[in-house]
Amino acid sequence: MDLIRQFKAPKGKVIFQPGQDCPGFVLLSKGTIKVSLTGASGRDVVLYRVRPGEICLQTFSCLVNKHAYGAEGVAETDLEGELIPANQFNRRLKEDDAFRNRIMRSVAARFFDYQQLIEEVALTGFDARLAKVLLRLADDGGVVSATHTALASETASGRAYVSRRLSDFARRGLVQQLDHSVSILNKPELQRIAAESW
């Protein structure tokens, strides 16, 4: 029987990618995995992030349905946790009530995240989406360490459009664009914009 083993990965490492078989189920104790999807056009969109106590819906689906990954997972920070081999995961899902309940609650929470993503893309104006992303990714000093390409992935849009809207935000005194980052200058106004819908 395969044994549960310790799992570690450095920031930036690709944890899984489309077409890859799933070796098992990762229970994170430290760090964040960013899960994204690349379309035929080459445009990326961030689907969700996996943090300690959360599950990766891609991994869950691969193990339960026995198919390969359809998205990419990258270590956004250094990672630590445990890897439960596929056969053990499926056995515990059938036999361990507490484990199964924990997984099912996490799956339900992840579907709620998907619902929010769909609502934001379909029912929220772009400026509100961009403002939300800037506020969410900002560090304690109000600096967002992300390129325009990365922000496009976070907002399910194109890089050129992100650049135009950031330039407009800068003209309005909301942000300052720096090399490979954005500094938030007017957080209250960004919060007001983030709360807007169509």
Looking at residue 198, its pLDDT comes to 55
Q: Which two tokens stand for residue 92?
A: 């515990």
pTM of the model as a whole: 0.72
- Report the distance separating Cα 107 and Cα 112, nearest Å: 9
Q: What is the pLDDT along the chain (198 residues), one digit of tens a residue?
A: 567 789 999 999 999 999 999 989 999 999 999 999 887 777 888 888 999 989 898 999 999 888 999 999 999 999 999 999 998 998 999 999 999 998 998 888 888 877 777 777 776 789 999 999 999 999 999 999 999 999 998 888 888 999 999 999 999 999 999 888 999 999 999 999 998 865
Alpha carbons 156 and 153: distance in angstroms, whole number = 5
Please give the structure tokens belonging to residue 181.
């980052």
